Amino acid sequence: MIEVENVHKSFGDTEVLTGVDLEIEDCNLFAIIGHSGSGKSVLLRHLVGLLRPDRGTVRVGDADLAGLSDDELEAVRRRFGMLFQGGALFDSMTVYDNVALPLRLLTDQSDAEIEERVMTELERVEIAGAADQMPASLSGGQVKRASLARAIIREPKYLFYDEPSSGLDPRTSSVIDDLIQRLSQTLCRMGIMVTHDMHSVLSIADKVGFLYEGTMRFVGPVEELRRCDDPVLCEFMEANAYQL
Amino acid sequence: MLHTLRANSVALFRHIGAFLLLMAEAARGPIYDVATYRQNLARQMRQIGVESLPIVAVAAAFTGGVTTEQTIYQMRYPLIPESTIGAIVVPSVILEFGALITAFILAGRVSARIAAELGSMRIGGQIEALDVMGVSAAGYLVLPRVLAGLLTFPLLYVVASTVGSAAGLGIAAASGDVTTTQFLAGARSFFTGFMAVYGLVKATVFGFLITAIPCYVGFNADGGARGVGRSATRAAVGACVFVLVADYLLALLML
């Protein structure tokens, strides 16, 4: 379980998070939605320990991320996998080497074992044929898939997705959605997704949190979101209705 | 004015503190996989050392040649023995120019590249990706680059000093003002083992600055493509300035 309690974060004079409370349960796919600049990515970076809150706590399992030493934080993060908005693949490595990197650095597995694992994950995300290609020669969708394969290669307990469908056409976006849903269901991982894409949210998320003016204005199951009666949330939904 | 000075001083100390923390983190960073680190180190040593060799040799040759010409020009007095030219040129190359010219070339060639590379990784999310994997990004990215600098710079310095001195000798002989024997006799009479030790210590310090400063600058890059360009410039300029400061401090402490 991930628990966020009264998290505050400012950058200079700009208050981005002003008391966020949130609980995310295991085996759930949780979507964080909100307007541009509402602090979704900032919140996600707190959940993975890339940012420390000015006030409040972020607990992942038993660990309070803000109170951990660098070594302890690294140990907790080894249970994380993250799909970055731009993929964040290393340009100087092939897709295969990018996906193999966490296994090479963090496990004692032999080259043969690593190859088997990498090819399994590349097949799972349907880009096994691009294993020898460099990231620069991949399409946007392929980059996301390769990044997803790298994120899940060590079978992390927690999977984070930062705008998984941004920059993708609707068809590729829906393929990525299917992959995320399959991972959530088949591997029973906790998934936390930051997105603008209401189509993705309504089709694959279990629960949704609407971040507005630094706090969680709505947290609930997707069905409840569909029946929204909060004018601000309704306005946000209507503004993104073109995606539905 | 006073306010600006104070703000700049605070910023400088903050940068120095953050730089030292990054270096400590890089040194602490566990070696997760020896084979991967060996490959990274070999790649960095090739880029910093082998690929810089031709330009360092050319620059050293011209520096040695010009130093010799200027020394001959200034020593054209009947009472000064010709061997003085070798006694000035060779120690100048070994004590100063060999390391300094190499440092300036590497600041443009290596420091800018490292800062741009790490800056792109910061902006492209690769550094965050390593952090989220539970891998020390400083240990994985900074350590091999700084180690490569520490190992290859002294070798480049030896090449630069040798080529610079040889070029000085060649120019002196070609000038007809001094014979090879006189030049070598002068060089030998003033050369001590300490000069080589001093030069190597200096080269090691410069090797650290030339790689560690751009690692810090690149690691803290922001602002997209413009930020990457800015960090490359800052790294090259910063490395040159700190090399000059270190050059003076080492002369003060060791000579």
> Measured between alpha carbons, how far is A105 from A121 in angstroms, rounded to an integer?
17
- ipTM surpassing 0.90: no
pLDDT in tens, A184-231: 777 767 889 998 888 888 888 999 999 999 999 999 998 888 887 888
pLDDT level of residue A167 (50, 70, 90 thresholds): confident
- Report yes or no: A77 at the B interface, CB cutoff 8 Å: yes
pLDDT exceeds cutoff 70 at A242: no
Whether B132 and A102 lie within 8 Å, measured CB to CB: no
Please give the order of strands across the beta sheet that includes A158-162. Answer: A80-83, A158-162, A190-194, A29-33, A207-212, A215-221
Q: What are the two backbone dihedrals, phi and then psi, of residue A197, each rounded to the nearest 5 degrees?
A: -80, 100
pLDDT in tens, A130-165: 999 999 999 988 999 999 999 999 888 899 999 888
The arithmetic mean of pLDDT across residues A14-33, rounded, is 89
Whether B128 and A88 lie within 8 Å, measured CB to CB: yes
Instruction: Read off the pTM.
Output: 0.86
* pLDDT averages per 10-residue partition of chain B, 255 residues: 84 92 86 81 94 96 94 82 89 93 94 96 93 90 95 96 95 89 91 92 97 96 90 95 96 91
Tell me, what's the pLDDT at B218?
Answer: 96
pLDDT exceeds cutoff 90 at A97: yes
User: Do the Cβ atoms of A143 and A84 come closer than 8 Å?
Assistant: no
Q: Could you give the C-alpha distances from A37 to A14, B177, B183, in angstroms and in order?
A: 11, 74, 71
Tell me, what's the pLDDT at A210?
Answer: 93
Tell me, what's the pLDDT at A46?
Answer: 93
Share of chain A above pLDDT 90, in %: 47
Whether A105 and B135 lie within 8 Å, measured CB to CB: yes
Quick check: helix, strand or coil at residue B1?
coil
Tell me, what's the pLDDT at B240?
Answer: 96
pLDDT level of residue A244 (50, 70, 90 thresholds): low
The closest CB to that of A84, out of B25, B35, B125, belongs to B125
> Measured between alpha carbons, how far is B221 from B135 in angstroms, rounded to an integer?
20
**Interface subset of B 138-167, CB within 8 angstroms of A:** 140
pLDDT level of residue A243 (50, 70, 90 thresholds): low
Whether A75 and B125 lie within 8 Å, measured CB to CB: no
Q: List beta partners, residue A194.
A: A32, A162
Tell me, what's the pLDDT at A241?
Answer: 64
